[in-house]
Structure 1
Amino acid sequence: MKFKLFIVVILLSYSNLFSQDSNFNVELNYPLPIDDNFIGRNYNGIIEAGLRYRFVNTSILNVGIALNSGVLKNTNSDNEIGIDVTVVSVQPRVFAELDIEALPSFHPSVALGYSYMNFKSKNFSDTSVEDANTLDSKNGFNFNFGIAYDITKTLFIQAQYDFVKLTVNNGVPNTRYNTEVNMLKLGLGYRL
């Protein structure tokens, strides 16, 4: 595993030699639920990975597409009903990123997209439950804004805020608690 990680770091380090001013970047974030709702009360962030591609580059604005995928976890020791739940989210988006001449190391951005959240349940502590492995999906509109700060020409740190407005299934109350997800994401990125 350490060898594979070493190879990835070496390849990323040398990618700049072959692609000057590439339009791609990769990022790793820590997703932190920050609201009093069903996600904020019950789940902890594990990791999120993302890829961005800029297809419009001007002196002040970059526009592109992004794809992020993250994992949240709730173990049966963390909740009252005794169940392990893993949430895997996928977020395709369109983004716009500013290049401010007076602040060349700062890059604020906004993004619009859609979020797909898959909830995988297992390990029910109640042994009377026959089907202990279940899968549920929720999805909805996603709004994101953030800021990145360049550490070097290729390496940056970032903070992002995500708002997701989920649709609810029949029988689930259409309340803010059940439909609005707020996340703070802190991470590190690398321009390829």
Structure 2
Amino acid sequence: MKQLFITSAFVLLSLLSYSQDQKWSVEANYPIQLIKDRSDPKLAFDTSLKYRFLNTDLVHLGLDFNIGFERYKPGVNNDDTFKFTNYILQPKVFAEFDLPFVPKLHPVVGLGYSVFFYEQSGSISGVQLNSDNNSDGGFNLELGVTYDISKRFFIQAKYDYIRLHNKGVSTIDGESFSYNFTDNIDRLKVGVGLRF
């Protein structure tokens, strides 16, 4: 195990020191719900791996693959056991711009599709709520800005809009109900990144 860790660290440091064009980046973000009628997640994170396949003096075009996790525990009573967990996949294409007059600031635009895999179970105020493991999806638009701390490290803030189509079956106190509706999700992501 120790040898694997040392080898992995050596490979990562080699990539960081010898990569000249920095086509790859990794990011870690904290997502914040902007609509307050939703419960805030008790645990949430978002990670991303980006690859830039076209680099010019003005714009960098690439592919972005986000993976997110959110766990909610809404309820008002201590007896409430309801839990709702989202696993989010967000593949997208993005454009990152270089501004000649502010070289450390980079506006970013991304378009893609979000897929939510979720599970829910437990009770709220004595009412048992369950759902099969479901997946929903929808159009995703991302607008943001990154600021370079150094050549490799940056901080960022992004607005994430998802037009999510929900369809499935839920069970409330043993009775099944089907649902089919569209929902708008507005989130702010703040985080850090590393180019290599």
Give the TM-score normalised by the residue count of structure 1: 0.82
Equivalent of residue 143 in structure 1, options 137, 141, 146: 141
Identity of aligned residues (%): 31
- Assess if the C-alpha contact under 8 Å between 1:32 and 1:45 holds in 2: no
2:176 matches 1:180:
no
The amino acid that maps onto 2:191 is G
The CA distance in 1 between the partners of 2:195 and 2:123, in whole Å, is 43
Structure 2 stretches of 5 or more lacking a match?
Answer: 169-177
Compute the displacement of 1:127 (Å): 8.8
Instruction: Sort the Cα spacing of 1:146 and 1:168 in 2 relative to 1 into closer, same or farther, 3 A.
Output: same
- Assess if the C-alpha contact under 8 Å between 1:142 and 1:162 holds in 2: yes
Structure 1 stretches of 5 or more lacking a match?
Answer: none
Compute the displacement of 1:181 (Å): 0.3
Q: Paired residue for 2:75?
A: 79
- Assess if the C-alpha contact under 8 Å between 1:150 and 1:157 holds in 2: yes
Instruction: Sort the Cα spacing of 1:19 and 1:157 in 2 relative to 1 into closer, same or farther, 3 A.
Output: same
2:186 matches 1:190:
no
Q: CA RMSD in A?
A: 3.1
Compare CA radii of gyration and give the structure with the larger one: 2
Aligned length: 184
Give the 3-state SS of the residue equivalent to 2:75 in structure 1. Answer: coil
2:123 matches 1:119:
no
The amino acid that maps onto 2:75 is N
Instruction: Sort the Cα spacing of 1:71 and 1:26 in 2 relative to 1 into closer, same or farther, 3 A.
Output: same
Higher helix share: 1
Equivalent of residue 159 in structure 2, options 158, 161, 170: 161
Give the 3-state SS of the residue equivalent to 2:39 in structure 1. Answer: helix
The amino acid that maps onto 1:56 is L
